[in-house]
Amino acid sequence: MSKWVYLFKEGDASMKNLLGGKGANLAEMTNLGLPIPQGFTVTTEACTDYYNSGKKITEEIQVQIFDAIAELEKIQDKKFGDNADPLLVSVRSGARASMPGMMDTILNLGLNDEAVEGFANKTGNPRFAYDSYRRFIQMYSDVVMEISKTKFDEILEGVKEAKGYTLDTDLTAEDLKEIIVKFKELYKKEEGKDFPQDAKEQLMGAVTAVFRSWDNPRAIVYRRMNDIPGDWGTAVNVQAMVFGNMGETSGTGVAFTRNPSTGENGIYGEYLINAQGEDVVAGIRTPQPITKLEEDLPECYKEFMDIAHRLEDHYADMQDMEFTIQEGKLYILQTRSGKRTAQAAINIACDLVDEGKITEETAIARLEAKSLDQLLHPTFDTAALKAGKVLGSALPASPGAAAGKVYFTADTAKAAAEKGERVILVRLETSPEDIEGMHASQGILTVRGGMTSHAAVVARGMGTCCVSGCGEIKIDEEAGYFELGGETIKEGDYISLDGSTGNIYLGDIKTVEASVDGNFGRVMEWADKFRTLSIRTNADSPADAKNAIALGAEGIGLCRTEHMFFEGDRIKKIRKMILSKTVEAREAALNELIPFQKGDFKGLFEVMEGKAVTIRFLDPPLHEFIPTHEADIVELAEEMNLSVEEVKATCDSLHEFNPMMGHRGCRLAVTYPEIAKMQTRAVMEAAIEVKSEKGFDVIPEIMIPLVGEKKELQFVRAVVVETAEAVKAEKGSDIEYHIGTMIEIPRACLLANEIAEEADFFSFGTNDLTQMTFGFSRDDAGKFLDSYYKEKIYESDPFARLDQAGVGQLVKMAVEKGRSTKSNLKLGICGEHGGDPSTIEFCHNIGLNYVSCSPFRVPIAKLAAAQAALVQK
């Protein structure tokens, strides 16, 4: 027989997976001899069993719960369901990872029509007793039976109105009795049966409700946001009630051992005299700072401070504690490692190391890598944000917070920025011509386009806040306004964007600039000491590269050359190339591009000072460079001295049914080797010149995208080598260069042993690999992914967190097969997963050499890499 239920005294802090965080800590504190209202924990395994048994709690588990109640009765010296002096309990969720407010709680369980009388008698406080009972009925009906809470509130308000009261506290014991009768009538009407009078029936209903709440929609969303697996389940803690609302020597509060916003060492918290937890949450009365407790109840304060320090020392971490004082006696209801801002986390970690309480390893292991994002992008001022009105929400395409005046064209945005205005560029969708306007903006909002749209990709590279794909917007760019959330926003009006959540706010919300202080650098140094993975960045321009180096990047893992084609006059030249009808004409047009490409590469090589630079050759299908609007086509035809029909015919011939699976990547280099030749020449000339001019040891890495077959890479490699050797001979240089490939097609993984014969390195392009492996495109998946989350088919977005079971299997296969051919094959990842901590751990474990991510994710990647190395140790 399995053990499904543990008394607090049977557990300890190490049993978090089984007892949940709250249960394990209650057990630990019991062992430490702290004043804990006693109780027991129904395990997370019981929750899993509940789901596996078709949402039923088995007889065996029920028996163990009732046995534990019997034990608790002995400890408390009260009887559960007793009419004279009933044992009342709280029933609370408690998962392995803290999920505050996501799941359900029931207080005062054990009361019924008769027990409430005994309870009134025993406490000598009938009003208190009846208030406890009506609260219980309401909470139980809401949580267990899912009867809308507002129906009860209506009854309560009705009575208050009839009596001419304004406050709940005006209600007398008799009023509350009347309300209880009405509550029970409502219950019977809704459920077709009486409110349960049997305490054990109440208890099993409450436990079931907590298990069920593990799968409520907000818990599912929270888990997805926080990478918590859906099969963990929650434990249930049943604990004897204590009451903070029994008079002026009672109270309840919450406190942190250090400041959770700044990390400052010193108790930080608040409390309310004569109140229950829910009153604090309800916000009707304003809580007092915890230091005030010293005046009100000095003994309790002293005892609490002792316990707080003891708990922080015991756990060697900042603690977040809940306590209740019942008639002058202090009880600790919960302790846990406190949630904190990234800034506080770093400061606390450094302080604890300095205080000798933890090692550097522990400090690194405890930090949440993802949260560093907060430190690197502006955020909204918390208070200012509360006052903001949310107009709508769309895709969080590039993180950070931004506020500014709305402009609808790149030109007006640029002009306004030059006048010193903060600008938000709002567009139906952005296109290459908008680059300068995007650069001048604080934030970018688009109506169309997904996480890989032009706006999203460019904004992430720039580190500019971007919210994309807000289909609810009705926009009239020409008239200069848009409608959203019932408001009409005109040019020059202020809006604010949160690129980390996707929220769009009305008005000018104050932002707080990112700042990294000395402790951040210290943490990064520790991370560098422990990690074995190298961290590179995805950067397409010297500015991006400079940013990334400042944040600690050790090389460029992905430079997307196509972005270089959009700037200024270049787009015209690339269009000329596309419209060429012969190889010769195409070569001539490409030759005009060489000086630009070469200049771009020189800029990169100079900034990188000899660090690795991986340059990916042209990847997108050519139609991405061609205009779609009639007017632009006419203009292009004039410029190119072609008929509109000819230009249209070319555009038509480039049309693709599924561009993601079309004529792109190395397929372009196979059909138009002259493009690869041009790019090779630009790379090699730039490298040779920077090497001789600056003395940096430049070894360019040329990366061929979308390879699925060895002979494909063999062909393109031959083209590259021929040109590279020719350039070397022309310049009399003996420069080294490497040629590798992106592994982003399932077939490339399956045949990696063959492909490795032609490759000096592999870089996993997990964006495309995920698309092909799942068979859905990132831009289209939005239509059904929400249903998939709702039905618990997927727990997380496979484009944000690598699907290790499926895509990861292919990556691992490619690593093993590739290294079986070339044991020293250099391996990296350059998909957006390269900045995701769980993916980085996976990359470490399968033996990659580096990960590459956007500049602002470099610190996150470093920390995650260090954590992965520590876990492995």
Catalytic residues: 454, 830
Scanning 98-106, 436-444, 560-568, 739-747 for contacts with a second copy by CB under 8 A, the matching segment is: 739-747
Of 662, 726, 738, 845, the one binding a second copy (CB under 8 A) is 662
| Contact between 468 and a second copy per CB under 8 A | no
Question: What is the Cα–Cα distance from 407 to 418, expressed in whole angstroms?
Answer: 13
Instruction: Provide, rounded to whole angstroms, the least separation between the CB of residue 841 and a second copy.
Output: 20
| Contact between 97 and a second copy per CB under 8 A | no
Instruction: Provide, rounded to whole angstroms, the least separation between the CB of residue 7 and a second copy.
Output: 36
Scanning 95-103, 213-221, 426-434, 655-663 for contacts with a second copy by CB under 8 A, the matching segment is: 655-663
Nearer to a second copy, 277 or 765 (CB): 765
| Contact between 222 and a second copy per CB under 8 A | no
Instruction: Provide, rounded to whole angstroms, the least separation between the CB of residue 787 and a second copy.
Output: 5
| Contact between 619 and a second copy per CB under 8 A | no
Please report, for the chain, how many H helices and E strands are present, in that order.
35, 31
**Residue written as token pair 């560098």:** 528
Question: What is the Cα–Cα distance from 663 to 626, expressed in whole angstroms?
Answer: 14
Instruction: Provide, rounded to whole angstroms, the least separation between the CB of residue 665 and a second copy.
Output: 8
Instruction: Provide, rounded to whole angstroms, the least separation between the CB of residue 196 and a second copy.
Output: 31
Question: What is the Cα–Cα distance from 866 to 873, expressed in whole angstroms?
Answer: 11
| Contact between 803 and a second copy per CB under 8 A | yes
Nearer to a second copy, 631 or 805 (CB): 805
| Contact between 598 and a second copy per CB under 8 A | no
Which residues, in sequence order, are CB contacts of 169 under 8 Å at separation 6+? none
SS (HEC) of 101-137: CCCCEEEEECCCCCHHHHHHHHHCCHHHHHHHHHHHH
| Contact between 663 and a second copy per CB under 8 A | yes
Question: What is the Cα–Cα distance from 629 to 619, expressed in whole angstroms?
Answer: 23
Scanning 238-246, 501-509, 720-728, 778-786 for contacts with a second copy by CB under 8 A, the matching segment is: 778-786
Instruction: Provide, rounded to whole angstroms, the least separation between the CB of residue 233 and a second copy.
Output: 16
Question: What is the Cα–Cα distance from 777 to 788, expressed in whole angstroms?
Answer: 15
Scanning 59-67, 74-82, 489-497, 799-807 for contacts with a second copy by CB under 8 A, the matching segment is: 799-807
Residues 805-864 that bind a second copy (CB under 8 A): 805-807, 809-810
| Contact between 793 and a second copy per CB under 8 A | yes
Closest by alpha carbon to 475, among 418, 408, 525?
408
| Contact between 783 and a second copy per CB under 8 A | yes
Which residues, in sequence order, are CB contacts of 369 under 8 Å at separation 6+? 837, 840, 860, 861, 863, 864, 867
Nearer to a second copy, 140 or 799 (CB): 799
Scanning 297-305, 519-527, 584-592, 782-790 for contacts with a second copy by CB under 8 A, the matching segment is: 782-790
| Contact between 392 and a second copy per CB under 8 A | no
How deeply is 591 buried, as exposed, middle or buried, from its count of CB atoms within 10 A (0-12, 13-18, 19+)? middle
| Contact between 295 and a second copy per CB under 8 A | no
Question: What is the Cα–Cα distance from 383 to 261, expressed in whole angstroms?
Answer: 13
Instruction: Provide, rounded to whole angstroms, the least separation between the CB of residue 772 and a second copy.
Output: 5
Nearer to a second copy, 294 or 587 (CB): 587
Q: What is the DSSP letter of 626?
A: S
Contact 741, 707 (CB under 8 A): yes
| Contact between 674 and a second copy per CB under 8 A | no
Alpha-carbon separation of residue 784 from 221, 722, 775 (angstroms): 15, 47, 13
Contact 199, 80 (CB under 8 A): yes
Question: What is the Cα–Cα distance from 376 to 641, expressed in whole angstroms?
Answer: 48
DSSP β-bridge partners for residue 240: 89
Nearer to a second copy, 628 or 653 (CB): 653
Residues 687-706 that bind a second copy (CB under 8 A): 706
Scanning 31-39, 257-265, 653-661, 836-844 for contacts with a second copy by CB under 8 A, the matching segment is: 653-661
Closest by alpha carbon to 602, among 665, 652, 651, 559?
559
Site string for a second copy, 533-572 (x = CB under 8 A): ----------------------------------------
The rounded radius of gyration (Å) of the Cα atoms in the chain is: 32
| Contact between 329 and a second copy per CB under 8 A | no
Scanning 570-578, 747-755, 847-855, 863-871 for contacts with a second copy by CB under 8 A, the matching segment is: 747-755
Nearer to a second copy, 437 or 705 (CB): 705
| Contact between 639 and a second copy per CB under 8 A | no
Alpha-carbon separation of residue 632 from 407, 564, 627 (angstroms): 22, 21, 6
Contact 110, 86 (CB under 8 A): yes
401 alpha carbon, distance to own chain's centre: 15
Contact 329, 266 (CB under 8 A): no
Nearer to a second copy, 220 or 506 (CB): 220
Question: What is the Cα–Cα distance from 398 to 452, expressed in whole angstroms?
Answer: 11
| Contact between 794 and a second copy per CB under 8 A | yes
Question: What is the Cα–Cα distance from 373 to 514, expressed in whole angstroms?
Answer: 9
Instruction: Provide, rounded to whole angstroms, the least separation between the CB of residue 643 and a second copy.
Output: 15
Residues 705-724 that bind a second copy (CB under 8 A): 706, 708-709, 711-712, 715
Sign of dihedral through CA atoms 332, 336, 340, 344? positive
Question: What is the Cα–Cα distance from 711 to 717, expressed in whole angstroms?
Answer: 10
Of 384, 633, 751, 870, the one binding a second copy (CB under 8 A) is 751
| Contact between 483 and a second copy per CB under 8 A | no
| Contact between 51 and a second copy per CB under 8 A | no
Residue 588: other Cβ atoms inside 10 A: 14
Of 185, 639, 656, 693, the one binding a second copy (CB under 8 A) is 656
| Contact between 788 and a second copy per CB under 8 A | yes
| Contact between 797 and a second copy per CB under 8 A | no
Nearer to a second copy, 671 or 820 (CB): 671
| Contact between 82 and a second copy per CB under 8 A | no
Q: Hey, which bits of 175-326 come out as E strands?
A: 234-240, 251-258, 265-273, 288-289, 319-326
Instruction: Provide, rounded to whole angstroms, the least separation between the CB of residue 160 and a second copy.
Output: 39
Instruction: Provide, rounded to whole angstroms, the least separation between the CB of residue 873 and a second copy.
Output: 30
Closest by alpha carbon to 781, among 763, 765, 766, 794?
794
| Contact between 776 and a second copy per CB under 8 A | yes
Sign of dihedral through CA atoms 758, 763, 768, 772? positive
Instruction: Provide, rounded to whole angstroms, the least separation between the CB of residue 230 and a second copy.
Output: 10
| Contact between 35 and a second copy per CB under 8 A | no
Instruction: Provide, rounded to whole angstroms, the least separation between the CB of residue 800 and a second copy.
Output: 17
Residues 333-362 that bind a second copy (CB under 8 A): none
Instruction: Provide, rounded to whole angstroms, the least separation between the CB of residue 781 and a second copy.
Output: 8
| Contact between 661 and a second copy per CB under 8 A | yes
| Contact between 628 and a second copy per CB under 8 A | no
Phi-psi region of 656 (alpha: psi -120 to 50; beta: other; left: phi over 0): beta
Of 158, 229, 471, 518, the one binding a second copy (CB under 8 A) is 471
CA angle 145/150/153 to nearest 5° reads: 110
Question: What is the Cα–Cα distance from 269 to 254, expressed in whole angstroms?
Answer: 6
Residues that bind a second copy (CB under 8 A): 471, 653, 656-663, 667, 670-671, 706, 708-709, 711-712, 715, 744-747, 750-751, 768, 771-777, 779-780, 783-784, 787-788, 791-794, 803, 805-807, 809-810
